[in-house]
Amino acid sequence: MQITVFRYGHRIVRDKRVTTHCALVSRALGAKEMIYCGQEDNELFENIRRIDKKFGSDFKITYVDNYIKKLEELKKDNILVHLTMYGQNIVDTVKQIKLAKTSKGIVLIVGSQKVPVSVYHISDYNASVTNQPHSEIAALAITLDRLNPNILNDNEGFSDAKVKLVGDNDAKRKVKMR
């Protein structure tokens, strides 16, 4: 299941850490790319690239200026799932997506600032991880885990990693260099 994350909105100063967390969570939990709109941020790009080179994978981070054009394009080959406080239950949504057995990819849309109505309209699903206010990072993480729970069983990391953490209960910070 090919998963892309679409981050709606990025303000360089205000959203730096939260957007970085979104990108790292996407990468760690099996998404192949994060696309974002808002302010283009080279430092964000470089930070993610640096981590990706060190720990492996070929996660992409891409900026787009025109979000709606990009979402229209993505909709041809993907199911668009917008994560919002106002949507239907994520448990039902994941069930429906899996039952549909589609060969399409999935785009998970997470907002930073207020998301325009057009995003609600273009999405195939508006889905909520609880109807409580909390965190787009958390909503994204739980949705990625629920779509593909096996990813958490993988202790091997990415095959092209330069540094690999081999954790245990003592957390002795073993690091394998390749």
CB of 29 to a second copy, least distance (A): 7
Beta strand residue intervals within the chain, DSSP E: 3-8, 33-36, 60-63, 78-89, 105-111, 125-128, 163-166, 174-177
Nearer to a second copy, 7 or 27 (CB): 27
Nearer to a second copy, 64 or 85 (CB): 85
Nearer to a second copy, 9 or 87 (CB): 87
Q: Which residues contact 92 (CB under 8 A, 6 or more apart)?
A: none
Rounded Cα gap, residues 159 and 178, in angstroms = 10
Rounded Cα gap, residues 67 and 88, in angstroms = 23
Where on the chain is the footprint of a second copy (CB under 8 A)? 17-18, 21, 24-25, 27-29, 51, 55, 82, 84-91, 120, 125-135, 137-142, 145-146, 151-155, 157, 164-174
140 Ramachandran zone, left/alpha/beta (phi>0; psi -120 to 50): alpha
CB of 65 to a second copy, least distance (A): 25
CB of 139 to a second copy, least distance (A): 8
CB of 6 to a second copy, least distance (A): 16
